[in-house]
Structures are given as structure tokens and as C-alpha cells.
Structure 1
Amino acid sequence: MNNTAKFITFEGTEGVGKSTLIQNLAKHLTAQGIDVITTREPGGSPFAEELRSILLKNNAQMADESELLLMFAGRIDHLQNTILPALAQGKWVLCDRYIDSSMAYQGFGRGFGDEQAVQKVQMLIDNFVPKLPDITIWLDLPVVDGMIRAKKRGELDRFEQQDIEFFERIYQGYQFIHQQSPQRFKQVCADGSPDDVLQRVLKQLA
């Protein structure tokens, strides 16, 4: 594993263990002498964190288009103020969610995978996101298993409170992305212990 700056994103439905994996991977990379930052979406910069509080608030009512545009407003700020500067400094960036979440959640979850909804998300990516991940880790876990895990964490946010059909559509979105971009979008089994998952991911990064 070389030290060249890499932008790695992590995707999956709720409760798949992204946060734990990112923490464990960051520790592993740091021990290898690699300079790492961890970040997240929505959020990752002061302005984007303000939007995160709106997007995840349980009583926030908004149109699907508003949700999508807020996601990208935060993403652009996050990219310009956190991700790109870190990469320019030679740091590895580990990001919990990025563009693929918008395709899966807004394009498929909200948009039912309709061609127009998918094209809308892709248009925003093409026009406003100048940096794609070097690799994306899709933590794959059955939706029901992930929701059981999520409910154990405590109060559910606005997304986590959606019905199971919403998350099944999101899962279909991730399958779609994997089919479209198999070289970048790596499918990794999220079942097993945190160390099991970490070892699977390290093989993808080798």
C-alpha cells in the first residue's frame, strides 16, 4: 500500500457499520505512517454541518427536490473546504457517504429509480462535483439486518425512520451503481466482526 493521497468513500444502507470501519481503517493507516482525515456527509465542513442538522431533523418537512439540492449544497462546500485541501496536502481522505448516497437515497429511495430522477442526480454530479472517489467501499448487508442494528443505536433520524420499502429501493440503487462502476465501487460483505470487515476492505485497497 503506497502513501499517495487517496480519496476513499464508504456507502451502504443504515446500520452496516461504516463509522466503525472508518475508525478502524484510520487507525490502521495511521500506524502505517499514512496521514489520514475522516469526514462525513451530509456534513464535513461548518456550513455543511448546519445543513446536516436540517436534513436529519425528525420534524423537518421538505420536498424531495429540496432535499437533493441541500445535499449538493453541503457537498460542494465540503469538497471545497475539506476534501480538496486535504488531498492537496497529501492526506488520505476517508469519507462516510458521498455522491453515491445521493444516487441511492434521492435517485432510488425518493425517486424510485425512475430514469428522470437518476438523470437529475447524475446531472448535479457532472456539473458540480469535480472530484470522484478513487475507490468506494459498499458495505453490503441485508436491509433488515442493518435496520435492526440502527435501532439499537437510539433515536432514529429522519432517514432512518423511513419504511423498509424505501431502504430496499436504496439497496437497488447501490446494486445499480455497482453494475455501472465495478472498478471504483467495490462490494464488501458487512457481516461478521469489525476486524473481519476491516480485513476484507484492506484486500480491496492493496
Structure 2
Amino acid sequence: MSDTEATVQDALDRGLFVTFEGGDGSGKSTQAALLERWLVDGGHTVMRTREPGGTEFGVEVREIVLHSRGFITPRAEALLYAADRAQHIATKVRPALHRGEIVIQDRYIDSSVAYQGSGRVLGADDIRSLSEWATENLVPDLTVLIDLDEKAARARLDSDHKRFDRLEAEENDFHQRVRQAFLDIAAADPERFVVVDGTLSPDEIATQVQARLEPLLRRD
């Protein structure tokens, strides 16, 4: 990002942007809800959202990309996620940040890099570039990666007795690539990430997330 782009982003985005990442079954949605409750109890204005599906357009994209009965090529899948992301950030996330709110989001660019870039083997750099273009380079203030072994995650999903979506239904080697990609992304950007052991209790995970977020809440 250029200095000019960074200045524009700083001027527009006065709130905080927190994203949750991890494999299917890692507990992201649970933690996003717990963080929202903690922040609201602390007097903060919070918007919790997700990708795909955070807008009316996103709901339609989510149905296509996760539940379509027809074959979707990997590149078409990546483009669908990018289209959802462009709409979501422009119409929902950036306005909330401009109002000074805290946005808590379940999945963002790192998910596409992990799932389409590594899981689908499309290439991390190309996928990241696509989403950065779609979002006009909006970067989270904090990303929480809940790391959980893919077999343990699958066991959790099995215990819920739910019908798997297209990505959840992929084989273990796909989910192994996704998990390793998340870990590699986090290792390359330690200032933005906090990596939490997904085998811990929900309360233990929430405590670690809160501790990492508190300094950002005190920033000018």
C-alpha cells in the first residue's frame, strides 16, 4: 500500500476491525459472539458480521458458493468470494468503521488465501491480490486465528450432525493445506495476528482474545 493509500485509510477507518480466522469447526463463530458480548458490556458500539453472507448480496453468494449442487471451478469460486467481499466492505464494513464502531468479522481475506490459494492450490499471492483490489486494501487491526487440528475439527462437525457444505466436505488433505496456510500467514504477520489453541475451553480462548485486544481499545 502506498503512503497516500495508507493516509486515506487512516482517515476513513476510525473504528477497529477485528477478524476471526480458522478451519471449519474451530469455534470462530462462538468466539466472535463472546467478544461482541464483552465489548458491548464494556460500552462499545459493535457490528458483528461474516463472509460470505454479511449483506443481502452476500447471502445469495453464500448459497451459491457453499451449497450449489453444480460444479464450481476453483477460479470461479475465488471470484465469487471476492465479489462478496467487495460488496460487503464497501457497503457495510467501511461505513461502520467510519462511524467509529468496532467491527467483528467471521472470515476475511486470509480465509481466501488459505482455502482458495492453498486448499484449491490457486496460489496465495494471486488470491490475496484479488481480494486486496476488491477491498481497496482494507487491513484488519487484529486477526484472531483459532488453530485446531483438522481431525479434531472434523469430529466437532460430525458431532453437530449437520449437512456439510462444499468446503467442509473436502478431504483431510485439503483441510491440512488450509490449516498450514493459516499458520504460515500468521507467522509472517505477528503484529496483526494472535494465534490461539482451539482445544482450550471457550472461556480460556475468550480471555486470550480480550487480552490482545485491550491495548487497541486504548489507542488514540
| Structure 2 counterparts to residues 29-44 of structure 1, below 5 A | 29-44=39-54
Instruction: Give the one of 193, 203, 210 matched to 1:195.
Output: 203
Q: CA RMSD in A?
A: 1.3
Q: Distance in 2 between matches of 1:52 and 1:159?
A: 12
| Structure 2 counterparts to residues 16-165 of structure 1, below 5 A | 16-57=26-67, 59-111=69-121, 117-130=123-136, 131-153=138-160, 154-165=162-173
CA contact (8 A) 1:14 1:160 kept: yes
Q: Which moved more, 1:122-131 or 1:152-161?
A: 122-131
Q: TM-score, normalised by structure 2?
A: 0.87
Shift of residue 185, structure 1, vs aligned partner:
2.0
Shift of residue 81, structure 1, vs aligned partner:
1.0
Q: Distance in 1 between matches of 2:104 and 2:132?
A: 22
Give the secondary structure class of the aligned counterpart of 2:123.
helix
Q: Which amino acid aligns with 2:153?
A: G
Q: Which moved more, 1:123-132 or 1:100-109?
A: 123-132
Give the secondary structure class of the aligned counterpart of 2:163.
coil
Unaligned runs of 5+ in 2: 1-13, 215-220
Q: Distance in 1 between matches of 2:70 and 2:20?
A: 26
Q: Which moved more, 1:102-111 or 1:173-182?
A: 173-182
CA contact (8 A) 2:85 2:134 kept: no
Q: Which amino acid aligns with 2:143?
A: T
Q: Distance in 2 between matches of 1:45 and 1:58?
A: 19
Q: Which amino acid aligns with 1:138?
A: L
Question: Aligned residues: percent identity?
Answer: 36
Q: Distance in 2 between matches of 1:139 and 1:57?
A: 24
Aligned residue pairs, count: 199
CA contact (8 A) 1:13 1:143 kept: yes
Shift of residue 119, structure 1, vs aligned partner:
2.1
CA contact (8 A) 1:143 1:167 kept: yes
CA contact (8 A) 1:104 1:170 kept: yes
Give the secondary structure class of the aligned counterpart of 2:196.
strand
Shift of residue 60, structure 1, vs aligned partner:
3.4
Q: Distance in 2 between matches of 1:44 and 1:60?
A: 23
Q: Deviations over 1:95-142 (max 9, x none)?
A: 00000000000000001xxxx612211221332222111110000111
Shift of residue 149, structure 1, vs aligned partner:
0.7
Q: Which amino acid aligns with 1:76?
A: A
Shift of residue 191, structure 1, vs aligned partner:
1.5
Q: Which amino acid aligns with 2:87?
A: D
